[in-house]
């Protein structure tokens, strides 16, 4: 990946009165066993303008403070999901965060405009190598086949889903590979929203959810 310039567009956004922060939602149930995500977490905490919420440290009892999480999400322009891929999806507490925080009338549906116009970025690792995500290998599908739930979550909330940052084979990746990956992650956080590819990505209009389809009507 071509190195990006360290340019912070956050000050400019702040002058315009726009949401300018970066929120990293880090979810790893066993940080002590993490080779890559733990280093990405440390790197994120060192980037100015980035707010990090370690979900497993904040909510070991899985009792999520919905008000606090909604406030953090509403204040950000970019929400980052940082986690290992577990059973082709996200860790349990990250999924619970989506279930409880992204409520009807707040994140989607009638009156649910709190996240519209923001960006959602997945920064994930897999245990298997990239070659394992292939129709002729044990994961049976290319990795893109597992992204639609992330993409549609963003779309339902009127968010733009950015191209993910992935490191496959995290368990066996060499030190140089890990260091480069962590460096790119930190650089991306630092330079947001001045990413060249953002100029070519269209904003995603919020999906219209009829009131009759809202939770509680089924």
Q: What is the pLDDT of residues 2-44, one digit of tens each?
A: 232 222 333 444 333 334 599 999 999 998 889 999 999 999 9
Whether residue 5 lies inside any domain: the answer is no
| Closest C-alpha among 93, 89, 108, 90 to residue 56 | 93
Whether residue 201 lies inside any domain: the answer is yes
Q: How confident is the model at residue 216 (pLDDT cuts 50, 70, 90)?
A: low
Whether the link from the prior residue into 193 is cis, omega within 30° of 0, is yes
DSSP conformation letters of 52-110: EEEHHHH-TT----HHHHHHHHHTEEEEEEEEE-BTTB--HHHHHHHHHHS-BTTTBST
Residue 215: its pLDDT value, please? 65
Residues with Cβ within 8 Å of residue 30, at least 6 apart in sequence: none
The one-character DSSP state at 117 is: T
Whether residue 4 lies inside any domain: the answer is no
Domain of 169, CATH number, reads 3.40.50.360
| Closest C-alpha among 22, 24, 99 to residue 55 | 24
pLDDT in tens, 163-173: 999 999 999 99
Whether residue 77 lies inside any domain: the answer is yes
Q: How confident is the model at residue 203 (pLDDT cuts 50, 70, 90)?
A: confident
pLDDT over 90 at 185, yes or no: yes
pLDDT over 50 at 79, yes or no: yes
Average pLDDT, the chain: 88
Which percentage of the chain shows pLDDT scores above 90?
A: 78
Most distant CA atoms of the chain, gap in Å = 53
Structurally, the chain folds into a number of domains equal to 1
Report field, pTM of the whole predicted structure over 0.85? yes
Quote the CA–CA distance of 28 and 38 in Å, as a whole number: 8
pLDDT in tens, 114-161: 999 999 999 999 999 999 999 999 999 999 999 999 999 999 999 999
Whether residue 185 lies inside any domain: the answer is yes
Whether residue 59 lies inside any domain: the answer is yes
Residue 69: its pLDDT value, please? 98
Whether residue 3 lies inside any domain: the answer is no
Q: Structural domain of residue 122, as residue ranges?
A: 10-213
């Amino acid at each position: 990946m071509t190195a990006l310039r360290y340019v912070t567009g956050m000050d400019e956004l702040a002058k315009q009165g726009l949401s300018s922060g970066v929120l990293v939602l880090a979810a790893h149930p066993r940080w002590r066993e993490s080779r890559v995500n733990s280093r990405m977490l440390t790197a994120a905490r060192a980037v100015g303008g980035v707010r990090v919420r370690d979900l497993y440290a904040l909510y070991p009892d899985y009792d999520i403070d919905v008000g606090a999480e909604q406030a953090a999400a509403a204040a950000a322009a970019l929400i980052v999901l940082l986690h290992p891929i577990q059973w082709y999806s996200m860790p349990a507490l990250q999924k619970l965060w989506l279930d409880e925080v992204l409520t009807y009338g707040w994140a989607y549906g009638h009156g649910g405009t709190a996240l519209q116009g923001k960006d959602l970025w997945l920064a994930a690792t897999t245990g298997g190598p990239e070659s394992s995500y292939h129709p002729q290998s044990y994961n049976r599908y290319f990795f893109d086949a597992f992204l639609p739930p992330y993409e549609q979550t963003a779309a339902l909330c009127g968010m733009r889903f950015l191209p993910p940052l992935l490191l496959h084979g995290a368990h066996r990746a060499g030190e140089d590979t890990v260091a480069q990956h962590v460096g790119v992650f930190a650089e991306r956080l630092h330079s947001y929203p001045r990413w060249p590819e953002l100029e070519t990505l269209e904003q995603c209009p919020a999906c219209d959810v009829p009131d009759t389809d809202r939770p509680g009507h089924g």
